[in-house]
Amino acid sequence: MKKLIIQIIILCIGINITAQYNIELEVKGAENMNTQLAYYQGDKQFIVQDGKFNDKAKINFKGDKNLPYGIYFIIVGKDFCDILIRDEQNFKLISDTSDLVFSMKVKGSEENKIFFDYQKEVFKLKIQIDKLEKLFKKEDNDSATAAGYSSDLEKLTTELENVSQRLKKQHGKSYTAKILTAIDANVDEFDFADSELLLTPFYHNKIRMFIKRSIDKNYMYINQEIQKLLNSIRHEKYNYQYTATYLLNFYSTFYKIGINRVFLSLQIIIFCRIKLIG
């Protein structure tokens, strides 16, 4: 019975990823390499389109309807880089297989320019921090050299923490700012109803955090929390379907005295919802 219920819910969750997009890639060193455009959903990844670079290291990913908003990624050989899909869906990316992110140039997408500039700044600081940490470990903790490394590390760490805050101030309405805010949000602050956050690698993690914080409570408390969550996202079809399906799957397999009541309650909530929306 549980398997049947889960299968029925899964049938309702499909997201139309056929899209009116035109993403042109030009990647030096990728001549005749295989490549894929893919997206994140939950803890899994799904391919939208695959292809092969021509002998000039160029390829276009394109379709006839808009892609759903989210964090997508492009696989080039054995490497990959994330990109953002929002309103701008006709743009060009120019890079190099030596380092997809650091070499990236963006034309026609301010959202992705902001995103890659942020990544480059963060990666540069993390490289510097990593080098200093290795040097610090080689020194006597009481030496003047170690003290200098420690001071530099503190400055770089503070600078790294300020990168996202500075971006949020300068580009507060950007998709990157929204993503950074969502990642930092606790469960109560996270907007599970935001359709722009569903196709991201962290939406799934926030659901797991939601489950974890109440897993030791009694079934009545868990039921109440689940009902509040599902009620808050009832108007966002795909967010509701994904979240409800994940919760249903989790509570169908998690063993705890009384937890079966949570599963039974979820069945009722979800089937009433399906009946309501037809």
Per domain, the residue ranges of the chain are 22-108, 117-178, 195-277
Lowest-pLDDT range of 12-16, 91-95, 111-115, 215-219: 12-16
Mean pLDDT of 87-104: 96
Would you tell me how many other CB atoms lie within 10 Å of the CB of residue 114? 19
Q: Encoding tokens for residue 169?
A: 């101030």
Q: Encoding tokens for residue 124?
A: 């540069």
From the list 206, 272, 274, 182, the residue with the least C-alpha distance to 237 is 274
* pLDDT band with cut points at 50, 70 and 90 for residue 9: very low
Mean pLDDT of 9-22: 57
What is the structure's pLDDT at 142? 65
Residue 231 has pLDDT above 50, yes or no: yes
CATH class of 22-108: mainly beta
> Which residues does 177 contact at the CB level (< 8 Å), separation at least 6?
167, 168, 171
Q: Secondary structure of the chain: what % helix, strand, coil (to 5)?
A: 50, 20, 30
Mean pLDDT of 68-90: 96
233: helix, coil or strand? coil
What is the structure's pLDDT at 19? 45
Lowest-pLDDT range of 73-82, 112-121, 208-217: 208-217
From the list 110, 105, 93, the residue with the least C-alpha distance to 53 is 93
What are the φ and ψ backbone dihedral angles of 208, each rounded to 5 degrees? -65, -35
Mean pLDDT of 45-69: 95
The overall average pLDDT reported for the chain is 87
What is the structure's pLDDT at 165? 93
> Which residues does 7 contact at the CB level (< 8 Å), separation at least 6?
none
Q: How far apart are the first and last CA of the chain?
A: 22
Residue 199 has pLDDT above 80, yes or no: yes
Lowest-pLDDT range of 132-136, 142-146, 169-173: 142-146
* pLDDT band with cut points at 50, 70 and 90 for residue 140: low
List, edge to edge, every strand of the sheet that includes 34-41: 44-52, 34-41, 70-76, 79-85
What is the structure's pLDDT at 11? 45
Q: Encoding tokens for residue 186?
A: 């606790």
